[in-house]
Structure 1
């Protein structure tokens, strides 16, 4: 009886070729890591063009070193900002403004956003630090970044990062993608 089973099996699998790999195809496309790395690197590069941002520094919102930042433009869904705050929107570029003058930080930040717009980046992290100043006043760069982001038309919202990404010393910034107008708001 076993010979019959074996011959039945052999006739059933005749012409079948063994699979050369042992991984199942889930149908989900793998992330293109090389493309993502190129986007991240390009988003952190400084461009040589001069950007006139038209922002006002006449009124800067002072924030404390440990204050959590959170802001959203009108029309941005609360669920998007909750995901951003929870770190569920991956950032594709990162900028560190530690130790810069206010003028230099502003220039670098706007160049960074211009590059992010070219690359259609959805979310970035901006590290502003939270060091208290020697004169006892609130953190200078953090306060300016908080004010500037509210004025920049490309910024849909921002929130302080998770501790592993800088906590109260950094923000996740949700950006409007220009080529996909209408989808982000």
Structure 2
């Protein structure tokens, strides 16, 4: 397209438009009024509403057949072995089948919070293996997120893929830290011996 074609095309597009008179034009010298205090309060309310700090960004993929395991420092080998073998009583259970990643994120955060408030020591989270998903890129997506999220939570001391009778590679045993109250009770119990 040459310059003459562009000029005639522009003239066709603006045909029929009447220019404004100077008295109809209003130019503001200052911008709109901004209530910074209201904006700050709204930001604080939004931050308080979503205390969930579990990441929503990149997650390292695990395979449906991968074993999930994690142990923070201070967890005795014998304790971790008993957890891995499913020898602790399961006090709480969360089933995430048919949940989206966003729903699972909220559920996991709330579940961990509930477990801590109720002095739960061992729980199980059923996430599924994710091996039936037709899209190879989406396989084990929930399992991959569980693997990442549980490491981000301070209340989690250890986790390991479950034994076959508890869901196998589609579930994890979770070991929670003792609350201060539970530690005190344990200490008092052992001092009386």
TM range (shorter): 0.5 to 0.7
Residue deviations 1:52-105, cap 9 Å, x none? 122323331211111111111122111111010011111101010011011110
Q: Distance in 1 between matches of 2:50 and 2:127?
A: 20
Alignment pair present for 1:109 and 2:108: yes
- More divergent stretch after superposition (122-131 vs 68-77): 68-77
Q: Distance in 2 between matches of 1:105 and 1:152?
A: 15
Q: How is 1:30-41 mapped onto 2 (pairs within 5 angstroms)? A: none
Check 1:104–1:64 CA distance in 2 against 1; reply closer, same or farther (3 A cut).
same
Aligned to 1:135: 135
Segments of 5+ residues of structure 1 without an aligned counterpart are 1-48
Segments of 5+ residues of structure 2 without an aligned counterpart are 1-47, 187-193
Determine which structure has the larger helix proportion and give its number. Answer: 2
Max Rg structure: 2
Aligned to 2:171: 170
Q: Distance in 2 between matches of 1:50 and 1:134?
A: 36
Residue deviations 1:143-178, cap 9 Å, x none? 000000011010000000010000000000000122
Aligned to 1:100: 99
RMSD: 2.1
Aligned to 1:153: 154
Aligned residue pair count: 136
Q: Distance in 1 between matches of 2:176 and 2:79?
A: 11
Secondary structure of the residue aligned to 1:171 is: strand
Aligned to 1:119: 118
Q: Distance in 1 between matches of 2:170 and 2:54?
A: 22
Residue deviations 1:94-118, cap 9 Å, x none? 0100110111101011111111111
